[in-house]
């Protein structure tokens, strides 16, 4: 039973991390950190 | 052949010699009237050349384009609604700084401009030397030196107007004031509301309206409030003003004006030389020392040392206390949970991993507070100015130092995004390549951990200072090498804003510290938490069958060695041995690619599983110190590698996007940084060994 619970926790963590990495490459920000949040950055200077 | 008709406006401060130039240019062909609805005189004149018929409109003399007087409203409305083909902006060269304030605002109206440096004879008589070519290059608009009362340079003005009109397509390439991230964020929000409600379409640029509303422009507020979606826009304006006031303890109007004055000071510092006796303000007195060629760099080094000294001296007791609390928590949970996998996951995985990172939270807070102090006081802008002299030698653009500072002040991700302030692609790519070398908030716990574990406490600030200096040196060296080998070419001209010095507000400092510090905690609670669980599993499984008769310590080491992570560590160990690292250190570095704090949490988990003293309250620092494998030399080589090697996934992702999704640059960055890191660590370790350390 203990093994199943621990296994589930690890699997959920792996899925969440894969989500994090995908989010980082799609949005330029990981969910745990808003430092790269595009809404917080100035628009590109028009040329 | 019909002549081309142009309308040209003449703008400038009162008493800048505008009317004299107007009279010289138009001769007797003048018409005086009134602007509709106001009692402001409207003077128009005609100029004819062989190709053009130019209607010259003499706008009222104004100091700014706010809405305090009819003159100001008439001037800006004429430029925005009348859409002249060009604006001749007359500047009193003997009062350049005061006059350039209007220039910054005229530039925001996005109209072709020509600058006339008028009264240049008076400026010369006062000992002021103005580099008009440099001014032209910095502002990206034609600059003509004129002496109005002698009719010197006035014909050249018309030639310049024609040039400006013909190159109007390149208009937006001009340097504009950088209002800073905080103000820009609010401008984007207001602009969003303006566009959503389709308020003010047509001749008013949305960014200009947003800026004016933020400044509290009563005339625009009145017009917006009478429109359907106006209420939502004004609500956002109010929220933005309140946010900025809370952040900087000053009104938005003052903040915007400060930025403009900063921009003007930057230009004056670049293009004007004046006798020392003329400079009187406190800001200028301080700048004479801080920006001086002799003391500029030592002052910068001193400021950085003060930041680290403050950080280490004041945070040490709090970090020690927090580490003790976390260690006690680990002990208590060990007592509560029965021996088994779940206890190991909670104690060795989550508490050790997350706790290892969270333990340094006070240190990060103190560091951010100290940096915010120098940032808000106006010194950091000077630091960039001082560094510019060196940056240009290394192939970096002067403005590149700002992204480097942003990376040091928190994270390389906004640092890489801040490279957008650089206009040339070459400068951007070089700066993006070297920004990850800076010691960001996430690398800080690694340095704090190893310096704390292997070096005496009184040397902490010095070592951190050295590492910081080294990160700058490596960034400069890399930029130089990249310039020589990959990105050849010249840097563009730029203006560095020099805002006036001010005493930072405590509320602003605490807000900034908390905003940046909170990101650290959030990351520890999410990404680091998840990684701690996964890494624990890789260090804990598969469960090996140990040979009988092993002591508890040897049993733990056996388990670690035969885990997935242990086996992977063994596999990469040969590449790490020449730089004084073992498999566990290698695994920590590999995991650090996810987020640099994970280096610490990986070591914490590995040392918690790999030693028999689980839950006994022993800190990671202590465990590292007790491990016979480590030595101060190996710690130094490890730190060297951490300083330089490939950045984390979030940074790589932003780098990938900002370089236009070019995989070749991404691979180049990873390869370049990691090989440089290996080489530097190898040099440190092998030289240290030869010298007998």
Query: What are the tens digits of pLDDT across the range B514-558?
Result: 877 887 788 788 888 888 899 889 888 888 787 877 777 777 778
pLDDT attached to residue B675: 93
B282 contacts: CB under 8 Å, gap ≥ 6: B501
Q: Express as a percent the part of chain B with pLDDT over 70.
A: 89
Q: Which of B172, B341, B525 sits opposite A6 (nearest CB)?
A: B341
B186 contacts: CB under 8 Å, gap ≥ 6: B214, B240, B243, B244, B252
Angle, to 10 degrees, between the axis of helix B460-485 and the axis of helix B444-454? 130
The most confident of B70-74, B200-204, B259-263, by mean pLDDT? B259-263
Does pTM top 0.80 for this prediction? no
Taking residues B576-593, what's their average pLDDT? Answer: 88
Q: What's the token pair of residue B270? A: 């670049």
How confident is residue B33, by pLDDT bands cut at 50, 70 and 90?
A: low
pLDDT attached to residue B309: 84
Q: Which helix (H) or strand (E) holds B83?
A: none
Interchain contact, A17 vs B530, CB within 8 Å = yes
Q: What's the token pair of residue B587? A: 């695994």
How confident is residue B1, by pLDDT bands cut at 50, 70 and 90?
A: low
Instruction: Find where tokens 């109209």 sit.
Output: B111
Q: Check whether B149 has a pLDDT greater than 50.
A: yes
Q: Which of A14, A31, A41 sits opposite B526 (nearest CB)?
A: A31
Q: Which helix (H) or strand (E) holds B42?
A: strand B41-48
Give the integer Cα–Cα distance in Å for A30 and B652: 12
Instruction: Please tell me which residue, B653 or B362, carries the higher pLDDT value.
Output: B362
Give the integer Cα–Cα distance in Å for B106 and B91: 12
How confident is residue B687, by pLDDT bands cut at 50, 70 and 90?
A: very high
Other C-beta atoms closer than 10 Å to the C-beta of B322 total 18
How far B590 CA lies from chain A's nearest CA (Å)?
15
B222 contacts: CB under 8 Å, gap ≥ 6: none
Interchain contact, B181 vs A34, CB within 8 Å = no
- Examine the predicted complex and report whether its ipTM is higher than 0.95: no
Interchain contact, A32 vs B185, CB within 8 Å = no
Interior angle at CA B519, CA B372 and CA B427, nearest 5: 65
Query: Do B413 and B421 meet the contact criterion of CB atoms below 8 Å apart?
Result: no
Instruction: Find where tokens 């130092």 sit.
Output: B401
Q: Which helix (H) or strand (E) holds B492?
A: none
Question: What are B421-472's pLDDT values in tens digits?
Answer: 666 777 888 888 998 898 888 888 899 899 989 998 888 888 888 998 899 8
Taking residues B65-76, what's their average pLDDT? Answer: 76
Question: A2, A3, A6, A43: which to substitute to probe chain B, counting the most B Cβ within 10 Å?
Answer: A6
How far A8 CA lies from chain B's nearest CA (Å)?
11
Phi, psi values for residue B342, rounded to 5°: -65, -40
Give the integer Cα–Cα distance in Å for A28 and B360: 26
- The torsion angle over the Cα atoms of residues B477, B462, B374 and B318, rounded to 10 degrees, is 130
Question: What are B88-118's pLDDT values in tens digits?
Answer: 999 988 888 888 988 988 888 888 889 999 8
B539 contacts: CB under 8 Å, gap ≥ 6: B348, B560, B563, B564, B565, B566, B605, B606, B609, B610
Taking residues B351-379, what's their average pLDDT? Answer: 84
| E strands, B49-145, in order | 52-58, 86-92, 113-118, 129-130, 143-145
Taking residues A29-42, what's their average pLDDT? Answer: 42
pLDDT attached to residue B29: 59
How confident is residue A38, by pLDDT bands cut at 50, 70 and 90?
A: very low
* Residues shown for chain A: 47
Interchain contact, B530 vs A33, CB within 8 Å = no
Instruction: Please tell me which residue, B156 or B504, carries the higher pLDDT value.
Output: B156
């Amino acid at each position: 039973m203990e093994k199943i619970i621990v296994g589930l926790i690890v699997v959920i963590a792996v899925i969440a991390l894969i989500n994090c990495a995908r989010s980082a490459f799609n949005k330029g920000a990981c969910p745990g950190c808003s430092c790269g949040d595009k809404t917080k950055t100035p628009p590109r200077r028009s040329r | 052949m019909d002549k081309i008709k142009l309308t040209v406006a003449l703008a400038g401060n009162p008493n800048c010699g505008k009317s004299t130039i107007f009279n010289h240019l138009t001769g007797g062909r003048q018409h005086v009237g009134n602007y509709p609805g106001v009692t402001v005189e409207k003077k128009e004149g005609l100029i004819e050349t062989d190709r053009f018929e130019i209607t010259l409109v003499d706008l009222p003399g104004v100091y700014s384009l706010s809405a305090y007087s009819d003159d100001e409203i008439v001037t800006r409305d004429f430029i925005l609604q009348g859409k002249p083909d060009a604006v001749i902006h007359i500047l009193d060269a003997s009062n350049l700084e005061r006059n350039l304030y209007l220039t910054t605002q005229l530039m925001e109206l996005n109209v072709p401009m020509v600058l006339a440096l008028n009264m240049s004879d008076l400026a010369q008589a006062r000992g002021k030397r103005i580099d008009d070519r440099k001014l032209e290059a910095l502002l990206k608009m034609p600059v003509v030196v004129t002496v109005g009362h002698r009719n010197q340079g006035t014909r050249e003005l018309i030639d310049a107007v024609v040039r400006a009109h013909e190159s109007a397509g390149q208009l937006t390439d001009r340097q504009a004031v950088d209002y800073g991230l905080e103000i820009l964020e609010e401008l984007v929000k207001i602009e969003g509301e303006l566009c959503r409600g389709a308020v003010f379409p047509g001749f008013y640029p949305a960014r200009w309206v947003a800026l004016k509303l933020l400044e509290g422009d009563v005339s625009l507020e009145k017009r917006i409030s009478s429109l359907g979606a106006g209420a939502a826009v004004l609500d956002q304006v109010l929220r933005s003003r309140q946010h900025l006031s809370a952040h900087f303890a000053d009104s938005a109007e003052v903040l915007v004006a400060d930025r403009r004055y900063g921009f003007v000071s930057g230009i004056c510092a670049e293009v004007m030389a004046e006798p020392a006796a003329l400079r009187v303000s406190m800001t200028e007195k301080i700048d004479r020392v801080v920006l001086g060629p002799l003391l500029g760099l030592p002052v910068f080094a001193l400021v950085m040392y003060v930041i680290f000294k403050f950080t280490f001296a004041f945070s040490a007791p709090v970090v020690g206390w927090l580490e003790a609390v976390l260690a006690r928590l680990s002990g208590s949970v060990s007592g509560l949970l029965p021996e088994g996998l779940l206890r190991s996951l909670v104690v060795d995985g989550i508490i050790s991993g997350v706790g290892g990172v969270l333990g340094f939270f006070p240190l990060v807070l103190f560091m951010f507070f100290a940096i915010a102090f120098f940032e808000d006081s106006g010194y950091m802008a000077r630091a960039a100015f001082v560094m510019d002299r060196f940056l240009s030698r290394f192939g970096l653009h002067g403005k590149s130092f700002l992204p480097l500072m942003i990376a040091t002040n928190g994270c390389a991700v906004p640092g890489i995004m801040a490279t957008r302030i650089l206009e040339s692609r070459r400068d951007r790519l070089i700066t993006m390549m070297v920004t990850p070398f800076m010691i960001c908030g996430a690398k800080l716990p690694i340095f704090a951990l190893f310096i704390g574990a292997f070096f005496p406490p009184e040397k902490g600030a010095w070592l951190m200072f050295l590492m910081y200096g080294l990160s700058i040196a490596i960034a400069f060296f890399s930029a130089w090498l990249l310039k020589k080998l990959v990105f050849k070419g010249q840097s563009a001209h730029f203006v560095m804003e020099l805002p006036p010095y001010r005493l930072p507000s405590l509320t602003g400092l605490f807000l900034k510290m908390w905003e940046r510090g909170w990101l650290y905690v959030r990351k520890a609670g999410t990404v680091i938490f998840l990684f701690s669980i996964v890494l624990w599993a890789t260090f804990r499984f598969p469960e090996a069958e140990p040979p009988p008769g092993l002591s508890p310590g040897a049993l733990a080491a056996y388990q670690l060695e035969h885990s997935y992570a242990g086996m992977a560590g063994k596999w990469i160990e040969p590449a790490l041995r020449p730089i004084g690292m073992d498999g566990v250190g290698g695994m920590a570095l590999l995991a650090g690619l996810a987020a640099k704090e994970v280096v610490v949490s990986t070591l914490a988990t590995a040392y918690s599983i790999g030693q028999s003293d689980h839950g006994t309250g022993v800190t990671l620092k202590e465990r590292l110190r007790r491990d016979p494998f480590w030595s101060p030399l190996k710690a130094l080589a490890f730190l060297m590698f951490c300083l330089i090697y490939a950045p984390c996934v979030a940074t790589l992702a932003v780098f990938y996007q900002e370089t236009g999704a070019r995989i070749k640059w991404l691979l180049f960055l990873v390869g370049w940084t990691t090989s440089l890191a290996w080489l530097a660590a190898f040099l440190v370790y092998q030289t240290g060994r030869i010298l007998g350390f």
